[in-house]
Chains A and B, each alone.
Chain A
Amino acid sequence: MELEGQVRIPSGCAISAVVSKDLRPISGETVIKSMIPMHDRSNGLGGGFAGYGIYPDYKDFYAFHIFYDSRKAQEECEKYLKDHFEIVQAETIPTRKIPEINDVPLIWRYFIIPLTSQMLRLQVDEKEYTARCVMYINVHLDGAFVFSSGKNMGIFKAVGFPEDVGRFYQLDDYEGYEWTAHGRYPTNTPGWWGGAHPFGLLDYSVVHNGEISSYDANRRFIEMFGYKCTLQTDTEVITYIADYLLRKQKLSLKEMSSVIAASFWDTIDHKDPQEAKVQTYLRKIYSSLLITGPFSIILGFNGGLMALNDRLKLRSMVTARKGNTVYIASEEAAIRAMEPDVTNLYAPAGGEPFIVLTDEYEKEV
């Protein structure tokens, strides 16, 4: 059987997220709860979570989460890491043995910082350097897969139902100000854990529900810029697009959303002239990054998140808040499971970015 990456597997999904604008710690258990009422949106072939603010003691270090197929792969990868980074901490990620989760690979976590000498040699900044190393490991080192690579954040994923995956990783022991979650309904067996979601690069993580029809147009464009889509999943390509537009092209979240979920030309023509000019420009120059087909995505990053639907809103997604905490999910029931007493229930329109920034991040910007 072909593994994910050798074959493209479409999926249906459940997504949810919670973020506390005032950085109040939220237990991983909260977001696990949100996935229970959406059990039927997954089929046990993939689940995962991303938590932000979960490694305050190591917040200045890149936290690499890596799956290894074998000790040999681990040795090879660790050698690569040592050549490129200073490793301040290496450990297995604690897991709970439960019958629902099987075929467990070696799961390791490293807190690392790039070697300055190497960065200088390549004349790139820290993030670009780290991203290139992640890409190198995932493309070239067989049996090793970096599935989380941001600072003060971590992705946890496995083949299984999301609520089981959460228990497996003992997420009830973690606290963060922001969580995203994903339950997957792939049409094929992904074969290994790398295919589960969220997908991450640096501190960007993406959970996504949908099957985008623009996939290969997006993939072939983004691969011009050093990205390599090894998993052939929508989430992977969306993550790279976000990284390219936000980090490399320095677009704002709103500008990015008018690239990937651009308004129809007719709609743009009716906007105020300045706005229409900018949107027309963005659509023209990044036309290959327009994403079509159904999707609802939540893009997490240090400092907030953005939820976005495709421009026809072909996937459900609702938002709500209570006090300083904002909730997003595929279904209202999932939000109610996290917090029964929410207000401001709102379903963003197709292509309308729903951006939540922490108070601290907002001040910075």
Chain B
Amino acid sequence: MPISLVTPEFEVLRDQTRCIKCRVCERQCANKVHHLDPDLGVMVSDEASCVDCQRCVTLCPTHALKIRVNENQFRPNANWSQQTIKEIYKQAETGGMLLSSMGNPNPLPNYWDHLLINASQVTNPSIDPLREPMETKVFLGKKPRSIKRLPDGSIDTSLTPQLELSMPLMFSAMSYGAISYNAHESLARAATELGIYYNTGEGGLHEDFYKYGPNTIVQVASGRFGVHEAYLNAGAAIEIKMGQGAKPGIGGHLPGAKITEAVSRTRMIPKGTDAISPAPHHDIYSIEDLRQLVYSLKEATNYTKPVIVKVAAVHNIAAIASGIARSGADIIAIDGIRGGTGAAPTRIRDNVGIPIELALASVDQRLRDEGVRNDVSLVVGGSIRSAADVVKAVALGADACYIGTAALVALGCHLCRSCQTGKCNWGIATQQPELVKRLNTDIGTQHLVNLMTAWQHEIKEMMGGMGINSIEALRGNRLMLRGVGLSEKELEILGVSYAGE
């Protein structure tokens, strides 16, 4: 084999004066970067396979390790960046598509960072959430256009099924298979404890997790993996996944190595075979087909579950959302270009789709222009990184946010973006039992509960500052936002004024 042209991305710096040769780095690295050299009597590292997941750095008891970007430089070239050149080497050597995972790492404009939140001064009071009630409860689902009265004149309070959330946050779809049993268990338990929902993704629902059904959204995607009647009825809602922000327009591919015995049983496919979801649903080639699937699922569950339709944010998202709103869907979920994934072709992840902020703003406005905003709830995802992003999303018009990456980070993910290798050192995006057990579900659950609770506190604090004591009064309240560093066109699409206006 000729030499590889791909040079290591990272270097491992070891402070030999600190290293006590406990070999924890060696034992914890699934990529086999470190080992004890018996002849030299010191720990050494082969950085070629290092993905900078920080597992060794975090566990090193004497803080002897540091990983940094390899300082080795190709001859600088603004047009042909080192990254570009390396990608060409990789493709020249393999002949394959480049694969990546997690969200788009490129410096696309991040509109959350260009939106600023309002606060009360003088003319109305801010409200202290520590002293006054501050409500973050949200109901997702279709709302009727008018009330009906019973013969005695009282209001008919029957309503199509709704999801009740203690705060406007849900864990987004991540399949069992893409992520581990322990990651799934942590999400399920945390969602239950928090009074929110997690999402099975397209990998079916492991038999152990049916007990978390009341806080589970079961997904039906183009591969229909793990979909059967009991599955559909197990969850609180059903999500039809039409697309994903990280890879709009294409399907999914879970390599056979991840299809273990349990994953195979859950997905209802043979062990060790690749799980390939087609790009489209082959029974949905148009909007009227979607309507049929929505109602098939409603029939299958006796109209007891709201149906979510999840789409990737693409160029004509407003028209698409408007069509979905008329398809019988109760909730529309939109995933932006920065959304995460367990594996996606790099070119697609980095170049297809639009940012969630713009998609959300235009969808919310379009649904209002057409008078159908109350017919559906709007959930957005695709790099919601903090409570501030949540507040901004709700003010732009979202009913709730899906968080995926942030939840995984709470479980220990360091965004090394190597999920597709299946060798996640943090026990998240892997099916290897020795790696999976690294994620203690008690700790995982607690971290997720802590993160969401912390965000909820921050959301309440920001709402109180604006003089708003219930989240519904923030929804679509774009007057609470101002833009900085944005063009007039961007402001127009976002529907916000410039700071100072």
Contacts and interface: CB of A to CB of B under 8 A. Distances in A.
Interface string B248-263: 0000000000000000
B470 A278 contact: no
A278 B157 contact: yes
Given A278-B157, A294-B124, 13 more contacts: A210-B124, A213-B120, A213-B467, A213-B480, A216-B479, A217-B473, A217-B476, A220-B368, A274-B154, A284-B162, A288-B374, A292-B469, A312-B469
30 contacts: A8-B479, A187-B123, A210-B124, A211-B123, A213-B124, A213-B467, A213-B468, A214-B468, A215-B477, A216-B476, A216-B477, A217-B477, A220-B368, A220-B477, A224-B374, A225-B371, A249-B146, A262-B470, A265-B135, A274-B154, A278-B157, A281-B157, A285-B144, A285-B147, A287-B472, A290-B473, A291-B473, A292-B468, A292-B470, A293-B468
Interface in A1-52: 8, 10-12
Interface string B454-496: 0000000000001111101111111110000000000000000
Given A210-B124, A255-B155, A266-B133, A287 B144 contact: no
Nearest to A291: B473
Contacts of B132: 312
Contact of A281 (B120, B123, B155): B155
B139 interface: yes
Nearest to B153: A252
A72 interface: no
A8 B154 CA distance: 39
Among B373, B374, B397, B477, chain A packs the most CB atoms within 10 A around the CB of B477
Nearest to A11: B123
A190 to B, nearest CB: 15
Given A290-B472, A294-B125, A264 B467 contact: no
A90 interface: no
Q: A-B pairs with the 9 shortest C-beta distances?
A: A214-B473, A216-B479, A213-B467, A287-B472, A217-B477, A211-B124, A292-B473, A281-B157, A10-B123
Contact of A216 (B139, B144, B155, B480): B480
A215 to B, nearest CB: 6
Given A10-B123, A255-B155, A294-B124, A217 B470 contact: no
A79 B263 CA distance: 74
Interface of B: 120, 123-125, 127, 132-133, 135, 137, 139, 143-144, 146-147, 154-155, 157, 159, 162, 368, 371, 373-374, 397, 466-470, 472-480
Contacts of B468: 213-214, 292-293
Interface of A: 8, 10-12, 187, 210-218, 220-221, 223-225, 248-251, 255, 262, 264-266, 274, 277-278, 280-282, 284-288, 290-294, 311-312, 314
B396 to A, nearest CB: 11
A293 B127 CA distance: 9
Among A262, A264, A285, A312, chain B packs the most CB atoms within 10 A around the CB of A285
A264 B137 CA distance: 10
B301 to A, nearest CB: 21
Contacts of B124: 10, 210-213, 293-294, 314
Contacts of B476: 216-217, 220-221, 288
A15 B263 CA distance: 67
A216 B118 CA distance: 13
A288 B377 CA distance: 12
A286 B371 CA distance: 14
A285 B473 contact: no
B123 to A, nearest CB: 4
A156 B127 CA distance: 35
Nearest to B136: A265
Nearest to A210: B124
Given A216-B479, A220-B478, A221-B373, A290 B470 contact: yes
B392 to A, nearest CB: 14
B470 A293 contact: no
Contacts of A291: 473
B123 A213 contact: no
A223 B368 contact: yes
A21 to B, nearest CB: 24
A139 B466 CA distance: 30
B237 to A, nearest CB: 16
A8 B135 CA distance: 26
B269 to A, nearest CB: 40
Contacts of A292: 467-470, 473
B461 to A, nearest CB: 15
A255 B478 CA distance: 27
Among B146, B468, B472, chain A packs the most CB atoms within 10 A around the CB of B472
Contacts of B123: 10-12, 187, 211
A287 B144 CA distance: 12
B374 to A, nearest CB: 7
Nearest to A284: B139
B83 to A, nearest CB: 42
A195 B132 CA distance: 33
B399 to A, nearest CB: 9
Contacts of B135: 264-265
Nearest to A281: B157
A255 to B, nearest CB: 7
A198 B467 CA distance: 24
A28 to B, nearest CB: 30
A217 B472 contact: yes
B67 to A, nearest CB: 46
A264 B469 CA distance: 9
Contacts of A284: 139, 143, 159, 162
B368 to A, nearest CB: 5
Given A8-B479, A224-B368, A265-B137, A282 B155 contact: yes
A288 to B, nearest CB: 6
A242 B304 CA distance: 33
